[in-house]
Chain A
Amino acid sequence: MAEELRKMEAAAGVADVATHPAPDQPLLRIEGVAKTFGTFRAVDGVSLDIRAGEFFALLGPSGCGKTTLLRMLAGFEAPDEGRILLGGKDIAHALPHERPINMMFQSYALFPHLSVRDNIAFGPKRAGMGRADIDTRVAEMMALVKLEGLEKRKPDQLSGGQRQRVALARALARRPQLLLLDEPLAALDKKLRESTQGELMELQRRLGTTFIIVTHDQEEAMTMASRIGVMNAGKLAQVASPRELYEAPRSRWIAEFVGDVNLFDGEFKLRDGHRLVIATRDAGTLVVAEPREPTDGTRLSVAIRPEKVKLSRLGPVSEAGHETAINRLDGMVADICYLGGSTVYKVKLDTGGIVQASVANSARLDADAYSLNQHVVAWFTPDDCVVLPP
């Protein structure tokens, strides 16, 4: 009986693989991919799974290898090592036109000698679609990116935002399984970029196409992507959801690259239940919630985001017995940076260090705002701290 069941399962499994990849198999699997230019290792052993329908962002500073990785997915560079599996098939060495992947270029790369219509029709025409089908597809794409009526224009007769839309429509016109976007919004001004971010997300949800976007703008990545892969020096430093990346960065470098952070170097002293007591060099003794034991030695860093640091004139009223539950740092306001929605105070601590606190400007007329050289108490809970390797 059990034997029969196993046979049936096996048969079902085989049939499943034959029609489409197993449900738990990712759409794209990157396995140990590396690329070297001369002596420079641009991409250094990257492995990554991307599920169908995902909006994934590759984030990193310029020169980190994110664009090279994207170009290997598109087929413009061949990896020196590793495999790229799309739906279970290795495409690492397939030519660009043999892949069901399309790319939107940073420069848009619109064909200047062709009209908007012919730019969008370029892909479908190459795919051997009939004239009527191409016309339908072009009309559909023009409606999708809201460009109706501009079919006859040449790229140089369009605004930057319109060009960006044509590039997007052209890349989507072949209905790719995977759309690669190389810094798609870098050339737009801030307001247009923000509205376009929303439209891109809406579009991705509607089409269900898998998007991989390359960007150096962490806000852009966090706004749009469901998962972010942070790259540094050719390696994937962390792959996580935007929230996890921000609240639980894996290294000092990631904590500093994604958002602002206060970092205090120190030494692990003792464990108190779920808490570690850490003697820092310039912020006194800090208590940090961390269930794990520090692994490499006693040296470590404590990271705390500026918006999690609270300021007050007298410090929190802590109940007796919970005194160690709050980190309390005395200091003086050394710098005030008004940003509109919030104000960043730099507090010079009596222990020598500087801590940044970001305070939301929740009232228009704030009689309680701190002034320069005022004595304040900066405080935060152990739960808001993250322990990182030094």
Chain B
Amino acid sequence: MRKRSRLSHFNIASLALGLGFLYLPILILVIYSFNASRLVTVWGGWSLRWYHEFFGDRAMIEAAWMSLKVAASSASIATLLGTLAAVALSRGERFGGRTLFSGMLYAPLVMPEVITGLSLLLLFVALNAERGFWTVTIAHTTLTMCFVAVVVQSRLGSLDRSLEEAAMDLGCDPVRAFVAVTLPLIAPAIIAGWMLAFTLSLDDLVIASFTTGPGSATLPIRIYSEVRLGVKPEINAICTLVIGLIAIVIVIASLASKLSSAQGESAAPL
């Protein structure tokens, strides 16, 4: 009994240390975003001054808007393509080069971002594509598609194959069986994949800076260029807003996936 309680003290300590290591810097950043002082490192009392400053900063707002647009569209395209790839890989007939294909799909997971960014830049230059919103969106799609595919494929793998067979046995052709049975059951994974893609895209600095063009800087690029000239307290405010946004999105996503598994009946297009 004593041994167990000592172990539990150790567990609490390590948990506190781990969480502190992860979240203390973020907590400090959030607190300092409400700092009234002009100096980042000196506490000057509570204030919303830097939030005012941010909403007055046209360039920053534009960069934030660009980031949201890129994240939403690249996440949507990546979810569509990644889901299709996952279905093809786990449900399709065993085609030649299947292993190679799945290996290639997952390569961006481990590929250094610099290489992905540089190769995409070379591609866009070779194609003579005008760099801007669409090039960043395409680049982020290639980055995040494999994450969606991994999430959806693992859900498909845990799904009983005979569910689809039962649907076909009861009168569905393969496509309708997928829509009526498989899709409602993998919907939580698809939603989770979209969220993951969205946050990854919102995060990304390296690939975006390779593939963006003049006048279409994303928020991370904008922040990075500001920081190079010295950290302004305004950056803290922006970061706090981004953290808040991501937290809200994740809470909504987990609620949605819980709801979709509980109320699958009405969601099922029968």
Binding site for B on A (CB under 8 A): 74-76, 95-97, 101-103, 105-107, 109-115, 118, 122-123, 125-127, 154, 170-171, 174
**B184's closest neighbor in chain A, by CB?**
A113
**Given A109-B166, A113-B184, A113-B265, A125 contacting B173 (CB threshold 8 A):** no
Residues of B in contact with A (beta carbons under 8 Å apart): 160, 162-163, 165-174, 176, 180-181, 184-185, 261, 264-265, 267-268, 270
CA separation between A76 and B171, bound complex, in Å? Answer: 13
* Given contacts A96-B165, A174-B171, A112 and B270 within 8 Å (CB-CB): no
Q: Name the CB-closest residue of A to B261.
A: A113
Contact (Cβ within 8 A) B270 A118:
yes
- Kindly provide the distance from the CB of B95 to the nearest chain A CB, expressed in whole angstroms: 16
Contact yes or no, A123 B265, CB < 8 A: no
Asked if B169 and A97 make an inter-chain contact with CB atoms under 8 angstroms apart, the answer reads yes
Cβ contacts under 8 Å, B165 to chain A: 74, 76, 96, 103, 105, 109
Judging by beta carbons under 8 Å apart, are A126 and B170 in contact? yes
Q: Which residue of chain A has the shortest Cβ distance to B173 in the bound complex?
A: A97
Whether B170 contacts A102 by the Cβ 8 Å rule is yes
How far, in Å, is B122 (CB) from chain A's closest CB?
Answer: 43
Chain A to chain B contacts (Cβ below 8 Å), 10 pairs:
A74-B169, A75-B169, A109-B163, A111-B268, A112-B185, A113-B185, A113-B261, A122-B167, A126-B171, A174-B171
Counting chain A CB atoms within 10 Å of each CB, which of B171, B172, B176, B267 scores highest?
B171
A residues in contact with B181, CB < 8 Å: 111, 113
A122 & B160 in contact (Cβ 8 Å cutoff): no
Residue of A103, A106, A154 touching B169 (CB-CB under 8 A): A103
Residue of B nearest to A115 (CB): B265
Give which listed residue, A75, A76, A115, A174, contacts B170 with CB less than 8 A.
Answer: A174
In the bound complex, do residue B265 and residue A122 qualify as a contact, i.e. CB atoms below 8 Å apart?
no
Q: Check B264–A113 contact: CB distance below 8 A.
A: yes
Cα(A107)–Cα(B159), bound, Å: 12
Are B171 and A97 in touch, CB under 8 angstroms? yes
Do B160 and A107 touch across chains, with their CB atoms under 8 A apart?
Answer: yes
Query: Which residues of B lie under 8 Å from residue A171 when comparing CB positions?
Result: 169
B264 adjacent to A114 (CB under 8 Å): yes
The smallest beta-carbon distance between B163 and chain A, in angstroms, is 5
What's the Cα separation between A174 and B167 when bound, in Å? 13
Inter-chain contact B265/A125, CB cutoff 8 Å: no
